[in-house]
Each structure stands twice: as C-alpha cells, then as structure tokens.
Structure 1
Amino acid sequence: MQIIPAIDIIGGQCVRLTEGDFTQQKTYASNPVEVAKQFVDAGLQRLHLVDLDGARARKPLNLAVLEAIATQTNLIIDFGGGIQSEESIQQAFNAGAQQITAGSIAVREVSLVQHWLEKFGANKIIIGADFRDNFISINAWAEQSTVSLTNFIQQYLEYGAQTFICTDVSKDGKLQGPATQTYTELVQSFPKAGFIASGGVTTINDLEELKAIGMEGVIIGKAIYEGTITLADLNKFVC
C-alpha cells in the first residue's frame, strides 16, 4: 500500500482545512518545498499536492510551488485543484506533475474527462471521488451533487479509469478516523479499481486496517502535521 503525504496550498503556504471549509484554515509551514523534502528524507516516494486557491478559481494558481517541489525533490506528484481544461493539465505536467486529479470537472463535464482518459491515459488521470453521505461533492466541496459514489465509480471504470482518490469530506481534517466501512464496500464491489483513501486518517492502526482491506494507497495530511502519525511511524510501510 502506498503512503501518500498531502500538501495543500493557499497563498503559497502549506495549510490544512477542516471538511474543506476555507474558514477553518490552519497554516503549518510557509515553505512547502521544505515540507516535501522532509517526506523524501523519510523515504516516501509520492506526494498529493492540492492547489486550494486553484480549486476556488477553477484554474491552477500555485504552479510555481509545484515546479519548485518537482525540481528540488524526486517525489512522484499528483496535482489537483483548478484542473478544468486541457491547457491546465499541460501546465501541471510542464511544471513537473506526473499525474493530475480530476475532481469536480469529472462530475460536471463527463465527456471531457472521458476524452482526457483516452488522450493522456488512465495512468496520468486520477479520478477524484470526493463524497459526503455517499454522494459526490463538487466545487471545492461546497456543493453536493445528485450522483452517488458507486454510480460515479462504475461510470468511470467503463470509461477506462483505473485509480480513484476517495475523500470522505465529512471526515477530512477532523482526525476521527477514515471511512473504513465505505472503502471496504468499494473494494469488494469494484475489485479491478485502485482506491486511494483520503480523509480522517489519524493513527497507524487506521493505516493497518486500510491495508488489510486492500486499499491501493492512503493519503495522509493533518495526522502528519499534528503528529498523531510521525514520519518515523511510516517506516514499516515504506518499501
């Protein structure tokens, strides 16, 4: 199982939100590159980088941060936030991202994201399945769609998608544990899909449980910054 630390960016700084609420923001570091280097030193190989400014503006606004991390570390970066066009995808790739995450756009413009999967390949386009109460959340999590989580995943599997970042918005940033039951059901229902858990991961025990049910990866954010999981704790998961 891949351990994927998260860096969320507002104004060039490393922050965390609670339930995606921009009024519940906490800044952890003014230099995201130094944070990324700490992940490298811990033996981690991947990074989930989210441009929160871009998510609100619907276009990437922190590409300079992406480029700085990409040029100063060897992390495999998936980038999300504001990816609304093929131009923004190319900008992210040019700045050093190896993958992009299609979130709200995957709900609003299904045919466009289907085209991206065909053009760039499923290894380059991750589908962001952000959910609350088993329905997909959109527009920086500010709105609920009428699309169910399972129907959303089934649809994109038919379009060739392979990897899904599934974020339980109701748990994100709360340090109260992940949606393990929901993930268990997804793994059982869609055995060919690769699921990455996000939201609520708090302890090493959470990671052990998610590994046991067959998750492909786990994104960890606030738990690292608050110290409920230390980078040293992750040694057992680092290949």
Structure 2
Amino acid sequence: MIIPALDILNDKIVRLYQGNYNLLQYYNYKLSNLLKYYVSLGINIIHIVDLDGANNPKNRQKKTFLKIINKFKNYIQIGGGIRNIHDIEYFSSLGVQRIVIGSAIIDKIHEIRKWIDLYGNDFIVAALDVRIMKNNKKIIFTNGWKKNTHIELESILKKLLSFNIKHVLCTDISCDGTLLGPNLNLYQEIVDKFPCIHFQASGGISTIDDITRLKNTKVDNIIIGRSLLEKRFTIVEAMQCWQNELSHV
C-alpha cells in the first residue's frame, strides 16, 4: 500500500531533513484539501506526524487535529509524542485508524504488550528509527533521533513479535527527507527475518523506480512524503506503480 505522509508544524505542512528541526522546508498546501484529494483517489491510510507534539507533547496541535480527524478519521495514521496510555486513549476516542508509537517502544517496552492487548494489533504501529553503524548494526534512536539507545533493531523486533505486533514503521534516519533513495538492504533483511510483520518503509524515496525496488523487497507499505509534495511524481503514478508490481508478485 502507498501511504502519503504529511508532517505538521505550527499548523503548516513541512518536511525535515534527517529529522533536523533547523533544516525545515515549508510547503504551501492546505492540509484539509490534500487529505480530501488523497481520499478521493482511493488512498486508505494517510500518515500524519505532529512535529510540535513530537518535540513537546504538551504542545500537541489539538485544534488542528480535531478538525481533520473529525472529517477524515477513518483514514488517519497519526504519530508524534504519543508516549503513554492517556495519549493512546485520546486518539482512540477520536476514532483514528491507527496511532504510531516511537520513543515509548523503547522507554516503556514493558507496557507495550498491555497496549496491544487493550487496543488491538491493527491499531498500534511501532515506529523504529535506525542508524546503520559499523558491521551493519542497526541501532535504534529515539526522542527525535537525538538519543542513541544502543539497542539493535532485531532484538526489539523479536520482542515486539512476541507481543503480537502487526505493524512496524522502520526508517533509516540517514535517508529521511533526503530524496537520495531508500535503504533497500535494510528492508530486505528485516522482511526476510520477520515475515509475519507488516513493515512500512520510510525515507529517501525520490523516484517511481524506488517504489518498484522497495516492492521487490516485499515490504507491505511504502510511506512517501517529500517526493509527493515536490511533485517528483504524482500519487496516482505511485499507486499505479504499486498495483503493477503487485500483479507481478
């Protein structure tokens, strides 16, 4: 599935370069119009990140999200500063399709099983952001990619699988927002090792060929942000490419 991504900061659509708030690009789109357009084309899930909430959960853009969730709640996968049961319950009560949990996957790993049991494994998406180190060690970073956890990706995936996790959004930080292409080796490795997990690939996608190559790794979903906003290709072209690749599987 193709999942368009929209990052929101101060009620505006933006993109960060490798998660850096100092390297910020604003885009002149109206959020509600883009959502309406994506839904009209048959997009099932739209990935939205509250960058204010990610930076400080107390600054969550509640007014903005109340408006869009009220209209598009069945299509929204939302993340950004969701770190406890109260945050999960808040978005669950609004009726979003899925919520994305990042830092809390590491900081509150002992609670994750309870959250999955309570809300279901189709509701919770685990977001794992990695840097590829020496010897191909995939180390997880949290807290806006500032904190090195020194924990390897595979060890957390094994634990999450034991918790009955279904959806995992995995991002190579070095690729995010760069348009330099995705880390195909990363996705091929984790899909091969954890075939029961539905992976969402994110970061670096700049061409239609990137979609084809990612699809060949057998990831279940591809998240695309900057390329669509900068019209490198259209959402329709992305969807057609995905469907064409599906027909060849």
TM-score for both structures, normalised by structure 1:
0.94
Measure, in 2, the Cα distance between the counterparts of 1:79 and 1:21.
Answer: 20
Q: 1:96 and 1:15, CA in 2 relative to 1: closer, same or farther beyond 3 A?
A: farther
Alignment match, 2:72: 73
Residue correspondences, number: 238
* CA distance in structure 1 between the aligned counterparts of 2:50 and 2:41, rounded to whole angstroms: 23
Aligned residue for 1:114, secondary structure, equals: helix
State whether residues 136 and 144 of structure 1, in contact with CA within 8 Å, keep that contact through their aligned partners in structure 2: yes
Q: 3-state DSSP class of the match of 1:17?
A: strand
Residue 123 of structure 1 aligns to a residue in which SS? coil
User: What amino acid maps onto 2:159 in structure 1?
Assistant: Q
Taking a change above 3 Å as real, the CA distance of residues 193 and 77 of structure 1, as seen in their structure-2 partners, is same
TM-score, scaled to structure 2: 0.90
> Which AA in structure 2 matches 1:191?
P
Superposition pairs of residues 119-134 of structure 1, within 5 angstroms: 119-133=118-132, 134=138
1:60 and 1:82 in contact (8 A); partners too: no
Q: Which moved more, 1:92-101 or 1:122-131?
A: 92-101
1:211 CA displacement:
1.2
1:108-142: per-residue Cα shift (whole Å, max 9, x none)? 11012221111111111111111111111100112
Contact 2:73 2:95 survives alignment (8 Å): no
Q: Cα gap change, 1:29/1:92 in structure 2, threshold over 3 Å: closer, same or farther?
A: farther
Provide the rounded CA distance (Å) in 2 between the counterparts of 1:63 and 1:39: 22
Structure 2 unaligned segments of length 5 or more: list them: 133-137
Q: Which residue of 1 aligns with 2:157?
A: 153
Tell me, yes or no, if the aligned pair for 1:136 and 1:146 is still in contact at 8 Å.
Answer: yes
Structure 1 or 2: more helix by fraction: 2
Contact 2:12 2:26 in 1 (8 A): yes
Among residues 202, 209, 214, which one is paired with 1:210 in the alignment? Answer: 214
Q: Could you tell me which amino acid in structure 1 is paired with residue 88 of structure 2?
A: I
Separation (CA, whole Å) in 2 of partners of 1:60 and 1:163: 27
The letter of the residue matching 1:27 is Y
Aligned equivalents of 2:30, 2:61: Cα separation in 1: 13
2:199 to 188, 195, 200: 195
Retained in 2: the 8 A contact 1:126–1:162? Answer: yes
Q: Structure 1 residues 73 and 125 mapped into 2: Cα distance closer, same or farther (>3 Å)?
A: closer
Note the C-alpha offset of 1:39. Answer: 1.4
Structure 1 stretches of 4+ with a deviation exceeding 4 A read none
1:177 is matched with: 181
Amino acid of the structure 2 residue aligned with 1:173: G
| Runs of 5+ unmatched residues, structure 1 | none
Aligned to 2:32: 33
CA distance in 2, matches of 1:186, 1:49: 24
Greater mean deviation of Cα atoms: 54-63 or 209-218 = 54-63
**Percentage identity across aligned positions?**
31
Residue number in structure 2 paired with 1:165: 169
Q: Residue type matched to 2:163 in 1?
A: Y
